[in-house]
Structure 1
Amino acid sequence: MSGSDRQGVADPIVFDDFLKVDVRVGEVVDAQPFPEARKPAYRLAIDFGPGIGVKKSSAQITKHYTLAELVGRKVAAVVNFPPRQIGPFMSEVLTLGFPDDAGEVVLVGVDREVPVGGRLF
């Protein structure tokens, strides 16, 4: 199966490839509607702490989350992808989630208190 096949397991990688993807925990400090997006989405501002700062992300998470419940929530995001233009908005990080049975995004989170900016290992 190809690495692009979302149903199968991706092609094998070596540990050094995994280390190239910088996944950090951050806290959502602001969440706004994003009516200009092609698919329903929110604009998020996520604080990753003093080493990285606050970064922007567009997230298609409108089915399971309200704007109010997102603020203060810890999320996981890839922080070392190049910024991506999404309509009039520049998304700086990729907020991570898994699809539910209907294909809607469920955010990746942590189940204990951790400091913002912590790196996934």
Structure 2
Amino acid sequence: MSDTDLAPSIGFDDFLKVDVRVGQIIKAEPFPEARKPAYKLTIDFGPVVGVKKSSAQITHHYTLDDLQDRKVAAVVNFPPRQIGPVKSEVLTLGFPDADGHVVLVGVDRDLPLGGRLF
């Protein structure tokens, strides 16, 4: 499926199965072992979800300093996925720009960590 194709229709109950939470990046590191340029992220989702790791191909628009303390949205209930030497525990969300580079989904207010998307 390309990003111009619509995904199949789902019911509201299907949407509720996807657990998207707000977290705060507490550590961003280089990920030189990745096949495509990426960073290793450590994200705090508050007391319910805790601190999780993610890898993200966001090097085009963001430096490591840009990411420190940034609030992001992530799917927290996918099974962990091994990406090289990193076990990615959450899927950090973003949209492609006109050239296909990822722009992170963020929030424009100070929200409590772990808040769930609805």
Q: TM-score, normalised by structure 2?
A: 0.98
SS at match of 1:43: strand
**Structure 2 gap ranges (5+):** none
Given the alignment, which residue of 45, 59, 64 partners 2:61? 64
- Count of residues in Structure 1 that have an aligned counterpart in Structure 2: 118
Q: Aligned match of 1:86 in 83, 86, 93?
A: 83
TM-superposition CA deviations, 1:35-84 (whole Å, max 9, x none): 00000000000000011110000000000000011010000000000000
- Give distance in 1, aligned partners of 2:115 and 2:12: 19
Aligned residues: CA RMSD: 0.7
Match of 2:34 in 1: 37
Which deviates more, 58-67 or 5-14? Answer: 5-14
Q: Percent identity?
A: 74
Is the aligned partner of 1:95 residue 2:92?
A: yes
Deviation at 1:7, TM superposition (A): 1.1
Superposed structure 1 runs of 4+ greater than 6 Å apart: none
CA distance in 2, matches of 1:31, 1:113: 20
CA separation in 2, counterparts of 1:112 and 1:36? Answer: 34
